[in-house]
Amino acid sequence: MMRRLLAVLHARNLEFLRDRGTLLFTLLLPVMVVIGMGFVFGGPQRPLFKVGVLAERIEPGTSSFLRERYVQFVPEARAEQAESRLAHQQLDLLVDLHPPVRYWVNSDSPKGYIAERLLLAAEPAARREAVRGAALRYVDWLFPGILGMNMMFSCLFGVGYVVLRYRKSGFLKRLHATPLSAFEFLSAQVLSRLLLILVVTTILYLGIGAIIGFHSAGSPSLLVLVAVLSALSMIALGLTIAARFSSEELVGGLLNLLTWPMMLLSGIWFSLEGSPRWVQWGAHVFPLTHALDAARAVMLDGAGLRQIGPNLLYLAATALAFLAFGAWSFRWRID
């Protein structure tokens, strides 16, 4: 029995080592994640609070409050946009340090409560102003991100591994003998996964909404359009990975290489407000970023088609581009 076990162990080790793509990703993926996260989240100690300052540029000598440690001060040129970010808990506090000193705080934000105490310790005469618009809970802001994350995993891994299994089992080889084209096969996979994801997302939206009573100010039909285009873009992205490769380890590594940056930089858990400009630009390459921006604009601000039009166009364009590339690079059999 031991000889048989060792023989199978040796064969599996040789199989893994000869799969150079998988071996490369196994070695490089952790290194790339660590280096990438080091660039994004490294450097000096990260601030605990994010405070908006109504000014074109921040002058440190204006107030002793600006010398507080562990507070990131973000210049805000437009008061209306700054108040919107405060209501959405993208800012913990908003201050106007020009005499008389005024400030705005979201009463539902725990971090805002502490930031307010820090301000009053430095500026006891500061006057509190009411926040225009509804102050949102963190769960209201987080809810679209959770739905988007679930959609991302279902789209990328659900389609990628199904096509890979078809290829390894020889099912695609048999389909290749039929008049079915690669574009037709991939389109059917996209539509099948799209219907499943829309049903699951609708159940989650209605079920969780009934439990926690989240804020939703926009049109439900517009949310459905956002969900459709978002799912199409991410499904097509998953198909571009599964269209050609036959190694489960390699496909898994490539899918992880896509999901981790999206999960950390697309705004699922926290806002990138105040982060380096190149990080924000890089995050907008991902379809999930545009999906969440559009969904939050509709749900939290009641935005219409005109406001989220650029996000929808980007999602539609990436869906078509990924599907076309997947059909062009599709491989029916294992060489």
pLDDT at 156: 82
Structure tokens at 330: 């599709």
pLDDT at 148: 87
Judge whether residue 147 has pLDDT over 90: no
Mean pLDDT for the chain overall: 78
Question: Would you say domain 49-129 falls under CATH 3.40.190.10?
Answer: yes
pLDDT at 312: 93
pLDDT at 66: 86
Kindly report, residue by residue over 153-178, the tens digit of the pLDDT: 888 887 777 777 777 777 778 877 88
Of the spans 171-185, 241-255, 312-326, which averages the highest pLDDT? Answer: 312-326
Query: Cα(161)–Cα(246) distance, rounded to whole angstroms?
Result: 10
Judge whether residue 274 has pLDDT over 70: no
- pTM tops 0.75: no
Instruction: Reduce the DSSP state of residue 194 to 3 states and report it.
Output: helix
Query: Cα(31)–Cα(26) distance, rounded to whole angstroms?
Result: 9
For residue 127, which phi and psi values (nearest 5 degrees)? -105, 130
Kindly report, residue by residue over 22-56, the tens digit of the pLDDT: 555 555 655 555 555 555 555 556 678 888 898 87
49-54 sheet: strands from edge to edge: 71-76, 49-54, 93-96, 102-104, 127-129
Q: Which residues pair with 104 in a beta bridge?
A: 94, 129
Kindly report, residue by residue over 198-237, the tens digit of the pLDDT: 888 888 888 877 777 776 777 888 989 999 999 999 888 8
Where do the domains of the chain lie?
49-129, 138-329
* Residues, the chain: 335
